[in-house]
Amino acid sequence: MLWNIPYIAVVALIVLGLYACMFKSNLVKIIIGTSLLEAGANLFLITLGYRKGGIAPIFTNAPSTESMVLPVPQALVLTSIVIGLAVTALLLSIVVMIYRHYGTIDAKKVRRLRG
Amino acid sequence: MIGSLLSNAGVWMPLAWLFVLVVTWAIVYYIRSRGEARYHKDTEQVRPFLAGHPETSKAAMHVRASNEYWGFMEALKGYYHPLIKGHTGNLNDYICWFTCILAIVLVLVISVGV
Amino acid sequence: MSAIESLRLHSPALIIAIPLLTAFIIPLLSKIIGPKARNGFVVAVLTGVLALVLLLAHDVITGGTRTYVLGGSTPLLTLPSGYQVPVRIMFVIDAMGVFMGIMCGVIALVAAIYSCMETYEGLYKFYTLLLLVTTGIFGLVFTGDLFNLFVFFEILSIASCGLVAFKIDSPMSMEGGFKYMVISDIGGLSLLVMIGLLYGQYDALNIGMLANRMDYGMIDIIALGLIVTALLMKSGSVPMHMWTPDAYGETPSSVTIMIVGASLSSLYALFRICFTLYGGFIGINVAGWIIVILALISILVGVTMAIPQTDFKRLIGYAAVAEIGFILLGLGAGLASLSGNSVDAYGIKAMEGSIFHIFNDALDIGLLFFVAAVVSYATGQRNLNNLCGLGRKMKYTTFLFIIGLAAVAGLPPMNGFASKFLIYESVFHLNPILAIIGILGSIMMLAIFVKAFSGAFLGPPVPELETYKKVPRSMLFAMSIVVAIIVFFGLFPDLIVDNLAHPAAQALVNHSEYISHAIRIGGV
């Protein structure tokens, strides 16, 4: 049961992220929701790579009797964190411009495109 | 043969269709050219008769784009009203739709596949 | 090895690398050589890339699926020495990939020619984003690796959002860009979770390797449901379509064709995952029927919501939603009749029709958006209620709009009719109601554009629209290229269907052939 705590954390993060995106009307809170979703997905990938009793997957001066955790998910997650950073930066700069034009960042009021 | 698209049930040859169209147009044009010679443009004949009222300007009589399908939209008002209200423009609702469809698709695919 | 030989060997990598490099050189170059030479440079680069894509297409259609491995000693070494599994990142290019590649090359070239007249201040940023979107689409359709698909998917979303929100002094562009980016982000994260689910089970990221090891357990079925919904949202099918008119209506009209191309690339990803990755799954017929029902609702809601619109570009955006419905109809019919390594005869025709319709849809909707941009440039109006009698002075534009109207509504002899004919005749065998609703959708599509045409182009001249700005020649030239391709596809549809769409449909259905090319069972 102890080994499943990271997976429970993943589910909790994804559910909280979706809740924030679906029910919070402040645009910045929606961006926080997407950050939570990203964190959940990245945590999921890293947790998948764990092997019991493994050490960090570094070749230099590695002790030869231990097994290592998988390095591929760590590479995938590095890429994904950078992509998430770019997306968050873009969304935040768009929210700055929306505030300048509309005067509000409530999703219920920023909806001139409807119908 | 080039220019013929085969499907399972039939064949579509656009060049043959164009040829038939040209022949039909030629026949229609010939019949029209043997018609009435008493019609003259730009005379008293082409002005509309409005029972003695003066004719309003053509620009005022042109039906604008939103008014063109008024009858259709009026007849289907029961369908259009909830549909247009459903397109709220609120970002939260877009994601709510995604989650609802995700739930329905997962239930359907799991219950059949396993 | 002569130059042509090495070009042919390395063409997949060059097709992606050249637009990427040019995208980063453009800001520096435009300060050195000035705007006109920069525009000419971009058009020349995109013409070169299109020539490379046609070379690659000729190779793949005559020679079979090609693979290209990055990082090996030769580009063909899929299994590194001493290994049993492919561990390097590969591009696996089959007939479906080159079809989408040809489409992307053509629409990027047309968009670049059309934008030669744009008068924004930071126009070099515009071209950088256009080239990044081109790179994203090429990478997405050529890749054979799932995580590479995710990376190019995100490149595509970020660059397209930059294009949607380009006009920063228009509040609605900002709103459209925000909605588009959040929707794309959620789609990308669903793709990442699905990659995690599959990687955790099979320890492989290569599409061919995964398809070989797949055993269709509960987790794989959950991954299928997740990714189908996410890709349907990203391509714009009802009921997750509401971002589509917002985003399409607010981009600068010269690049809306690229945003349409981005949505069609996510349809390509749906094709690839459903047919190649999950090809042997019995329950895929349920996914096929779900896609068919959502396609029917897309067609109906798309055309009925377009009728009350007053903004010209939002009207065309809703028509684009309905066109996506047609493509999904063919895809779902193909999926619903899939069994083992083959489909019934009508399933292959439905897939061919919808693959052909992908290309036609990009061209037709792109042409309509170009006409809307010309109208808005010449008169300054976007509201259809204020436009009247444009046909008297803008004769060439009216003619182009009539051809676009006939193409998108599926009137003979344009290309829209050829692909819709294939789709109707094939889905009729699945269930007659599907074809009936499809034809009804086409008729209502004609109704929408007749409303726009008679409201804006017919009628008497009005005094407040007397001053027309003259339409620049680059706009008319780009639109003429698109019309020439539309008429050519309409008059000779069997050239495209037999040589491009049929091999593409066959390559998708033959998923064991894809696997054997990707992992080379039995020798190099």
Q: Do B110 and C218 touch (CB under 8 A)?
A: yes
pLDDT attached to residue C120: 63
Give domain status of residue C301, yes or no: yes
Give domain status of residue A113, yes or no: no
Give domain status of residue C210, yes or no: no
Residues C230, C290 contacting (CB under 8 angstroms) = no
Q: How far apart are CA C75 and CA A114, in angstroms?
A: 50
HSE-CB at C514 with a 13 A cutoff on CA atoms is 36
pLDDT attached to residue C186: 95
Count: domains in chain A = 1
Provide the pLDDT confidence category of residue A28 given band limits of 50, 70 and 90: very high
Best residue in B109, B110, B111, B114 for a mutation probing chain C (most C CBs within 10 Å): B109
pLDDT attached to residue A62: 76
Give domain status of residue A115, yes or no: no
pLDDT attached to residue C517: 81
pLDDT digits (tens, 9 = 90+) for C371-403: 998 898 888 888 888 888 888 888 889 999 999
Neighbours of C281 (CB within 10 A): 20
Give domain status of residue A46, yes or no: yes
Three-class secondary structure assignment of C235-257: HCCCCCCCHHHHHHHHCCHHHHH
pLDDT digits (tens, 9 = 90+) for B53-110: 777 777 777 888 888 888 998 999 999 999 999 998 899 999 999 999 999 999 998 8
Give domain status of residue C2, yes or no: no
Torsion angles phi and psi, residue B12, rounded to 5: -125, 120
pLDDT attached to residue C305: 92
pLDDT attached to residue C524: 44
Cα–Cα–Cα angle for C405, C408, C414, rounded to 5 degrees: 85
Distance from CA of B93 to the nearest CA of A (A): 7
Give domain status of residue C110, yes or no: no
Tokens, residue C518: 């990707």
Q: How far apart are CA C98 and CA C86, in angstroms?
A: 23
pLDDT attached to residue A4: 86
Q: What is the largest CA-CA distance in chain A?
A: 65
Residues C267, C335 contacting (CB under 8 angstroms) = no
Q: How far apart are CA C188 and CA A38, in angstroms?
A: 10
Spatial CB neighbours of C156, under 8 Å, sequence gap ≥ 6:
C133, C136, C137, C140, C262, C265
Strand partners, B5: B12
Give domain status of residue C324, yes or no: yes
Distance from CA of C171 to the nearest CA of A (A): 6
* CATH number of the domain where residue A27 is located: 1.10.287.3510
Contacts of A94 in chain C (CB under 8 A): 165, 174, 177-178, 181
Q: Chain B residue with minimal CA distance to C286? A: B109
A109 touching B (Cβ < 8 Å) = no
pLDDT digits (tens, 9 = 90+) for A99-112: 999 999 899 998 88
pLDDT digits (tens, 9 = 90+) for B5-63: 887 778 888 899 999 999 999 999 999 888 877 777 766 666 766 777 777 777 777 88
Q: Chain A residue with minimal CA distance to B89? A: A114
C403 touching B (Cβ < 8 Å) = no
Give domain status of residue A18, yes or no: yes
Give C311's DSSP letter.
Answer: B
Q: Are strands C338-339 and B11-12 parallel, antiparallel or unpaired?
A: unpaired
Give C114-126 as a DSSP string. HGGG---TTHHHH
Which residue, B97, B67, A38, A86, is CA-closest to C385?
B67
Torsion angles phi and psi, residue C460, rounded to 5: -80, 155
Give domain status of residue A41, yes or no: yes
Tokens, residue C399: 């003619």
Letter for the amino acid at B70? W
Which H or E run includes A23? Answer: helix A5-23
Count: domains in chain C = 1
Spatial CB neighbours of C478, under 8 Å, sequence gap ≥ 6:
C110, C111, C113, C114, C370
Strand partners, C311: C383
Give domain status of residue C6, yes or no: no
pLDDT attached to residue B3: 76
Structural domain that includes position A20: 2-56+66-102
Q: How far apart are CA C522 and CA C135, in angstroms?
A: 34
Distance from CA of B84 to the nearest CA of A (A): 5
Give domain status of residue C133, yes or no: no
pLDDT attached to residue C80: 67
Best residue in C172, C182, C194, C229 for a mutation probing chain B (most B CBs within 10 Å): C229
Residues C156, C281 contacting (CB under 8 angstroms) = no
Give domain status of residue A81, yes or no: yes
Give domain status of residue C457, yes or no: yes
Which H or E run includes C379? Answer: helix C345-379
- Give chain C's residues under pLDDT 50: 521-524
pLDDT attached to residue C77: 67
Structural domain that includes position C395: 282-491
Q: At what angle do helices B77-86 and C284-306 cross, to 10 degrees?
A: 110
Residue in B87, B91, B95 nearest the CB of A115: B87
Residue in A37, A95, A112 nearest the CB of C186: A37
Q: At what angle do helices C171-202 and B91-113 cross, to 10 degrees?
A: 30
B neighbours by CB contacts (3+ pairs under 8 Å): A, C
pLDDT attached to residue C522: 38
